[in-house]
């Protein structure tokens, strides 16, 4: 083989190697992204609990319905101090680090549910305080605690909890049910999930029928002339308009001009519907185009009108493709953040919205808010919320693929 030819082959091998490395890099990035998010976020789904034996004296807990949580906290801390004596612990610093306000709330809830326990001493599991939570989940090692200059006695107590099986890690269901909070340990995505749900529902209701009807018209009824070329160009361009522009539209027209209440899933759903519309129209048109013309001709030869032929035969045949496109459009809408910020869905909202007219936030916006919060612990919540978001998107995309496979008709 000539040296020139060898050189040419070498060049080709180089290119193939470089492209493989490129693909590997992309893969590595994806893995890095996932590892970085899961590594940070997993602990958000769990919380530590400490077992405690606490006395509930009648004298303080008379009228248990009105007793404040701080009273329970004092009882808990008294119980902790008793436990300390047994283990010879003298200076463990703030007891909030072992069982804090959350624990007091939980204890109060238990007592209210079972008033008979008043006057007795009960043993129960309570949510751990800040450092105990970190220690039990393995987020904070003994060494990190030392570096954080935590009292040595506190660390010793954590080790005792560990050894006597009085500390455990449980799944944190409240992450899914609580609303936003100024403290990371009481912050949940419940409100954001509800907001996103109402918004997606509205987006679907508004955009899906409109998009299908528009696609049917453009594909099967519209005259072929310059005017409709323009409509087509318009739709293709609309699909490529930056999402933030839709936020400006929502702010100026829906909120300012039409008076739709700010920060609500209603206005969010309207904005996302307009944004998703071109995406669904484009995929629905492709699906309708793929249906052979003979189907419509056949229906019409049996005496059906064009309209009947389209709605009885062509559209049902195109449905799998239309639905797949819709799910993908919905997935995009679910992950969209920027326009929602502009229409006020970034407000701090603690309660969980009960309907689309109540102020709410959305899952991706909640991620943004927490990621931006400098308080220790919020970045972890943010990563955990990303995991939930990605799980939803994965379910949507997989169902789109399955739907296509299952319903696809080969022509």
Site for another protein in 40-99 (CB under 8 A): 40
Minimum Å gap between C-beta 197 and another protein is: 17
Q: Which residue has the tokens 């629905």?
A: 284
Minimum Å gap between C-beta 352 and another protein is: 21
Distance CA 70, CA 65 (A): 14
Q: Which residues pair with 127 in a beta bridge?
A: 49
Nearer to another protein, 231 or 290 (CB): 231
Minimum Å gap between C-beta 250 and another protein is: 9
Distance CA 94, CA 157 (A): 13
Distance CA 410, CA 207 (A): 27
Minimum Å gap between C-beta 248 and another protein is: 4
> Residues 285 to 344: which contact another protein by CB under 8 A?
305, 307, 331, 334-338, 341-342
Minimum Å gap between C-beta 263 and another protein is: 11
Selected binder of another protein within 211, 284, 295, 349 (CB under 8 A): 211
Selected binder of another protein within 287, 346, 352, 384 (CB under 8 A): 346
Selected binder of another protein within 99, 128, 192, 216 (CB under 8 A): 216
Environment class of residue 332 by beta-carbon count within 10 Å: exposed (0-12), middle (13-18) or buried (19+)?
middle
Angle made by CA atoms 66, 71, 74, in degrees to the nearest 5: 170
Selected binder of another protein within 145, 155, 214, 272 (CB under 8 A): 214
Q: Which residues pair with 173 in a beta bridge?
A: none
Tokens of 348: 């701090």
Nearer to another protein, 170 or 401 (CB): 401
Q: Which listed range, 36-44, 59-67, 99-107, 174-182, lies at the site for another protein (CB under 8 A)?
A: 36-44
Selected binder of another protein within 281, 288, 315, 319 (CB under 8 A): 281
Nearest to 267 by CA among 209, 339, 336: 339
Selected binder of another protein within 30, 148, 170, 201 (CB under 8 A): 30
> Residues 365 to 404: which contact another protein by CB under 8 A?
367-368, 371-372, 379, 382-383, 386, 389-390, 393, 397
Nearer to another protein, 126 or 334 (CB): 334
- Counting Cα atoms < 13 Å in the Cβ hemisphere of 185 gives 18
Q: Which listed range, 21-29, 78-86, 97-105, 135-143, lies at the site for another protein (CB under 8 A)?
A: 21-29
Minimum Å gap between C-beta 66 and another protein is: 38
Nearer to another protein, 37 or 169 (CB): 37
> How many residues at the interface with another protein, by CB under 8 A?
85
> Residues 227 to 256: which contact another protein by CB under 8 A?
231, 233-238, 240-249, 251-253, 256
Tokens of 350: 């603690």
Nearest to 362 by CA among 269, 285, 297, 270: 269
Q: Which listed range, 62-70, 197-205, 209-217, 352-360, lies at the site for another protein (CB under 8 A)?
A: 209-217
Environment class of residue 187 by beta-carbon count within 10 Å: exposed (0-12), middle (13-18) or buried (19+)?
buried
Nearest to 41 by CA among 175, 227, 141: 175
Distance CA 127, CA 84 (A): 19
Close Cβ partners of 243 (under 8 Å, ≥ 6 residues apart): 275, 336, 338, 339
Minimum Å gap between C-beta 275 and another protein is: 9
Minimum Å gap between C-beta 22 and another protein is: 5
Selected binder of another protein within 217, 261, 300, 359 (CB under 8 A): 217
Chain centroid offset of residue 302 CA: 51
Phi/psi region, residue 79 (left: phi>0; alpha: psi -120 to 50; beta: rest), is alpha
Q: Does 32 bind another protein (CB under 8 A)?
A: yes
Distance CA 79, CA 73 (A): 10
Nearer to another protein, 95 or 328 (CB): 328
Q: Which residues pair with 362 in a beta bridge?
A: none
Nearer to another protein, 55 or 395 (CB): 395
Tokens of 127: 């949510």
Using CB under 8 A as the criterion, what x/- string covers residues 168-207 for binding another protein?
----------------------------------------
Q: What are phi and psi of 180, to 5 degrees?
A: -70, 155
Nearer to another protein, 266 or 340 (CB): 340
The per-residue DSSP string of 209-232 comes to HHHHHHHHIIIIIS--SHHHHHHH
């Amino acid at each position: 083989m000539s040296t020139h030819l060898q050189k040419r082959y070498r060049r080709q091998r180089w290119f193939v190697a470089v492209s493989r490395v490129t693909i590997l890099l992309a893969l590595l990035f994806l893995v890095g992204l996932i590892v970085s998010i899961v590594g940070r976020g997993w602990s958000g789904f769990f919380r530590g609990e400490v077992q405690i034996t606490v006395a509930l004296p009648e004298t303080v807990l008379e009228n248990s319905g009105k007793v404040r949580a701080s009273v329970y906290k004092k009882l808990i801390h008294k119980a902790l101090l008793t436990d300390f004596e047994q283990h010879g612990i003298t200076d463990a610093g703030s007891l909030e680090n072992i069982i804090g306000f959350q624990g007091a709330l939980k204890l109060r809830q238990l007592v209210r549910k079972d008033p008979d326990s008043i006057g007795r001493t009960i043993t129960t599991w309570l949510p751990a305080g800040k450092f105990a939570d970190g220690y039990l989940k393995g987020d904070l090692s003994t060494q990190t605690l030392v570096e954080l200059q935590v009292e040595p006695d506190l660390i010793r107590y954590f080790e005792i909890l560990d050894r006597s099986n009085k500390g455990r890690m449980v799944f944190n269901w409240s992450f899914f049910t609580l609303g936003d909070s100024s403290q990371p340990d009481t912050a949940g995505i419940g409100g954001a999930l509800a907001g996103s749900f109402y918004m997606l529902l509205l987006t679907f209701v508004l955009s899906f029928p409109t998009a299908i009807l528009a696609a049917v018209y453009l594909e099967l009824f519209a005259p072929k002339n310059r005017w409709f070329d323009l409509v087509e160009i318009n739709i293709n361009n609309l699909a490529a308009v930056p999402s933030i522009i839709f936020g400006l539209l929502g702010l100026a027209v829906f909120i300012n001009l039409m008076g739709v209440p700010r920060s609500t899933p209603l206005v969010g759903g309207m904005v996302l519907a307009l944004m998703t519309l071109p995406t669904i129209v484009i995929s629905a048109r492709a699906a309708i185009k793929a249906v052979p013309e003979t189907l419509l001709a056949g229906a019409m030869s049996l005496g059906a009108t064009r309209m009947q032929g389209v709605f009885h035969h062509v559209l049902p045949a195109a449905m799998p493709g239309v639905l797949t496109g819709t799910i993908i459009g919905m997935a995009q809408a679910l992950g969209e953040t920027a326009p929602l910020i502009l229409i006020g869905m970034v407000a701090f909202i603690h309660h969980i919205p009960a309907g689309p007219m109540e102020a709410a936030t959305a899952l991706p916006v909640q991620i943004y808010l927490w990621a931006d919060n400098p308080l220790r612990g919020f970045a972890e919540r943010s990563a955990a919320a990303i995991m939930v978001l990605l799980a939803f998107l994965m379910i949507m995309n997989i169902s789109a693929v399955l739907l296509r496979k299952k319903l696809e008709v080969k022509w």
